[in-house]
Structure 1
C-alpha cells in the first residue's frame, strides 16, 4: 500500500482549512470532496481534478467541522457561530439550522444508516443526537465529570468533547475529550458502556475500522495513534511517529491502513499489520487538520483517494493503492 501525490490546490480557501469529508456518490454524480474553512465557507470539489464545484455560504464565523449523509444528498457544517447548517449538496438549499450555545459544536458525524446526526458538544461535556427526519434533538449523552470537584478545580473543563465516531453497525458511539479519555456509548440504550484510557492529552479525532465494528482508532495531542477494542475496553496497541499533535485519523475502506494528519505538517500512512508508519507526505507547510479517505462506490471509480487540508489554506489529493 502506498500514497502518490495527485494534486494540490494552493489558496483553496481564503483562510485555514479545518475540515474535510467526502460526500458519497449518487446515481447522478461521483463522490465530492467537502471542505470547511475559517473563511466561513464550505466548498465542494470534484474527486480527481479538484475542480471547484460550488462555494456555500451561510455561516458568520469559521467552519469547524463538516459531515456528509450516507445518501450523498445532504451534508452538514458546524461553525464557531454556534450553528449547524444542514444543506442540500446539489442545490445548497438550507434544510435545517441547529442552534447550540457558544463552544458547543465541534466534531460531528452521521450515523451509518443516516437516521441520526451526532454532534460533539464541546464544553457541555455531552454528545447531542439529532433525528434527521424531523431535525429534533432526541437525546443527550452526557460525559461523566470527575466526582465532587472543588469550586477551584478546573478538571471538569477538561471533559470538553472534541471528537465523535459511529461504529459501522451504528450500535456504538465513541467520543474523545480534552483530558484524553474516550467514552463509548450503547446508543440504543443511551448508556455509557465504559471509558477507554491510553491518552493523556486531547483526543481530536476518532474513527472505527470499516471492517471490524469493535476496532477504534484515536489520534491525540500526545503524538500517538491508539488502537482500541471498543467493546472489550482494551488498548490493543499504540503507534508513534509524528513529532507533534495528531489532529486527524481516518481508516482506509479496505481496513488495511489508516492515515493521519498532524501539526508536524505531515500526512502519514500506517500499515495496520505492521502497526507502523510506512510513508510520510510533506507537501503541506502548516499543520494538517483533516485527512479523509474517499468511500467506495460510484461509476468509473478506479483508484482509492485520500484528501488532506491544512492551516496553509491548501487542499491535497493522493492516490491510495
Structure 2
C-alpha cells in the first residue's frame, strides 16, 4: 500500500489561502490533494491516522481532530460533508454543520482505496482492495447499493456530472461504467495496455478519461464507446487525472513527478510542468481553471498554468 495522506480543499478558499506564486509550497509530507467544488471545508488525513478538519482555509483553526489507524482515502462534498477511510475498511462521514462525525460504518474487511461523493452530495461511493464498490446514503451511512465487479482491487472512482453513472478503474486494466438507477454495468472498456489502471475521471461535459501503469491516457465518450483522444505520455505511469472546468483541457500527473496539460481539441500537449520529486499522486483544478493543486514527493503545491 502506498503512503497516503490526503488534503481536501474547498475551491472557494484555495486561491486566497494558498497564495499566487507560480509554484508555492503548501504542505510537506503530503501525497494526495483534492479540491471541493464549493464551500470552505478543508480536511487532512494520512497514514499516521490523524484527521484534521478546518473551515476557512489552510490557516483556519482546526474544528475537529481525531487519531486512529492509517487512512488511504478522503473525500469532501462542498461545505457540508467530508469522509475518510483506510486500513480497517471503516468509513467516517463528518458533518460540518454539527462539527462531528455523523456516521461511522464498515465498508468491508479490506482497506478502502478511494471515496467519492456524488455531485448532489446525497451518496458516497467507496472502492475497496477486495474489488467491492458500494454506494452509501448520506448522511445516514446506510448501504444503498453494491455494484458487481470481479475481485481485482478498484483503485479509482468518478461520478458522471449528472450523478447517474459511476466509473471505476482498477488492477484488471478495465474501466467499468455502472448505471446507478439499477446498478447494471452498462459499459466495460479494456485499457489495452499492460498493468493496472490507477486513475479515472469524468469531465464536466461527460467525457471519461483513464490512465495507469501504461503511459497512454485515453479519453472516451463513455456510453457510445467512441475514442476521443489517445494521449501518449513520455515519462512514467499516469497516476492522477483532472479535467478543467470547461472540459477543454486534461491535466495528468505521472510517476516521475511531471504534470502535463493536454489540449483536447487537438489531442496534443499544451504545457509540461514539474510538480516535484516523486509520483504526482493527486491533482485538482482550482476555480477558473488557471491553477491547480498537486501532490508530489510528499509536497503539496499550488501551480499556476497561465
TM interval, shorter chain, is 0.7 to 0.9
Name the structure, 1 or 2, with higher relative contact order (CA <8 Å, separation 6+).
1
Corresponding position of 1:299: none
Shift of 1:245: 1.6
Q: Which has the higher strand share?
A: 2
Corresponding position of 2:173: 180
Corresponding position of 1:245: 237
- 1:103-150 deviations in whole A, cap 9, x for unaligned? 341112111111110111321x2310001032100110011x3xxxxx
Aligned length: 286
Shift of 1:44: 5.8
RMSD of equivalent CA atoms: 2.6
Length-normalised TM-score, structure 2: 0.83
1:270 to 249, 254, 262: 262
- 1:280-318 deviations in whole A, cap 9, x for unaligned? 22241121110011356xxxxxx74310113x3211012
Return closer, same or farther for 1:318/1:45 CA change in 2, 3 Å cut-off. Answer: farther
1:163 partnered with 2:149? no
1:135 to 138, 141, 153: 141
For the residue of structure 1 that corresponds to 2:182, the secondary structure is coil
Corresponding position of 2:22: 5
Return closer, same or farther for 1:318/1:242 CA change in 2, 3 Å cut-off. Answer: same
Corresponding position of 2:38: 25
1:313 partnered with 2:305? no
- 1:20-60 deviations in whole A, cap 9, x for unaligned? 2223433xxxx45544332323456799x854653854352
Corresponding position of 1:200: 194
Return closer, same or farther for 1:135/1:204 CA change in 2, 3 Å cut-off. Answer: same
- Within a 5 Å distance, the mapping from 1:111-126 to structure 2 comes to 111-123=118-130, 125-126=131-132
Work out whether residues 219 and 230 of structure 2, in 8 Å CA contact, stay in contact via their aligned partners in 1.
yes
Return closer, same or farther for 1:32/1:314 CA change in 2, 3 Å cut-off. Answer: farther
Corresponding position of 2:104: 97
Corresponding position of 1:67: 75
Corresponding position of 1:149: none
Q: Give ranges in structure 2 of 5+ residues lacking alignment.
A: 1-19
- 1:193-233 deviations in whole A, cap 9, x for unaligned? 120122432122111110x22x1011211122110111012
Work out whether residues 294 and 302 of structure 2, in 8 Å CA contact, stay in contact via their aligned partners in 1.
yes
2:224 to 216, 223, 232: 232
Shift of 1:173: 0.9
- C-alpha distance in structure 2 between counterparts of 1:84 and 1:138, whole Å: 15
- C-alpha distance in structure 2 between counterparts of 1:133 and 1:45, whole Å: 19
- Within a 5 Å distance, the mapping from 1:147-162 to structure 2 comes to 157=151, 159-162=152-155
Q: Give ranges in structure 1 of 5+ residues lacking alignment.
A: 146-156, 297-302
Length-normalised TM-score, structure 1: 0.80
Corresponding position of 1:39: 48
